[in-house]
Amino acid sequence: MKLIIQIPCLNEEKNLPATIADLPKHIPDIDDIEYLVISDGSTDRTVEVARELGVHHIVELRTNHGLGKAFSIGIEKALALGADIVVNTDGDNQYNGADIGKLIEPILRNEADFVVGSRPIANHPEFGFFKKKLQQLGSWTLRYISGTHIRDAASGFRAYSRNTCLRLFVYSTFSHCMETLIGAGAIGLRVESVDISVNPKTRQSRLFRNIYQYIARSAWTILTMFVFHSPGHFFLIWASLFYAGALVLGLRFIYLVYIVPVPEPGRTYLPSLILLCILGVIGTLFLFFAIFGELLRSQRRISEENLYLIRRLRLDMKKNMATTSGVRDNGLG
């Protein structure tokens, strides 16, 4: 059983030594543990420090692609190296490396395909009241959209089985955290969470400049991924809202014209009827969008399933070679 711990990095020369030192060297039921650093356009000595620390595999991206893209490239590299389980952690040493054994345990017991490390949000000493509530609201929204029961949707401390890595596709460049949860729920993967501890903060987040930018980008990512993975559900919600408005106006018209004993003389209901028609037409358009979106989603699922089968076949053929090569890969990606 081979475990690869991947670490996407952007200018982490100061934090990388502590992050690597914190990672486990031995875990029960794991035969081989290797580290993979993905330098996402770093302009400092991140790559050189990784080499000095003896990191087994390094992928250097010449320009910054974003966390979502760096994560995907790391997953592809880990699969090519024969990983049976991939753990993703951050280069700023936010997460406690000693919890990796706990993180992969549900996968080793074949009880989960995808495990998220849940931080102690309610008692996190570095989260203010507003940030705690935002994290809890975001996690609740992701639970609703994805159909999972994850308590900390924003946590980047995650473990994936080999089959899960083959099945998940990340299209966002901002972050993989939300999209992979929505995608996993959409294809019926078993997603679990375990409680983890965190280390003291070493730096500010580089994903966003302030909390308002984080809210805007997270909300946009959730919205676009919801439409992408569940277009029928999304557009049916909007169709229902417009149909409900049309129904209320229709019932109001029937009540005022046919039920009220003495209608107001000379009163016209033409504006309400026009609005009723507009709401009905918009609702019907959203219904068509829902149907069309589901047809496109079905076609994309077929394409992704074919790609999954091709990737699995190709990696199965190369797995023995990658496992037995024993060559440290410090090449540039």
* R_g of the chain, CA atoms, integer Å: 25
Q: In this structure, how many other beta carbons lie within 10 angstroms of the beta carbon of residue 159?
A: 28
Q: What is the pLDDT along the chain (333 residues), one digit of tens a residue?
A: 899 999 999 989 999 999 999 999 999 989 999 999 999 999 999 999 999 999 999 999 989 888 888 999 999 999 988 899 999 999 888 899 999 999 999 999 999 999 999 987 666 665 666 667 777 777 888 787 878 888 888 888 999 999 999 988 888 777 788 888 888 888 889 999 999 988 877 666 656 666 777 777 778 878 888 888 889 999 999 999 999 999 999 998 888 888 876 666 666 778 889 999 999 999 999 999 999 999 998 988 898 888 888 888 887 777 666 555 544 444 444
pTM for the structure as a whole:
0.77
Dist. CA 270–CA 274, nearest whole Å: 6
Beta-bridged to residue 286, according to DSSP, are: none
Dist. CA 8–CA 10, nearest whole Å: 7
Q: Is 93 left (phi over 0), alpha (psi -120 to 50) or beta?
A: left
Dist. CA 72–CA 8, nearest whole Å: 10
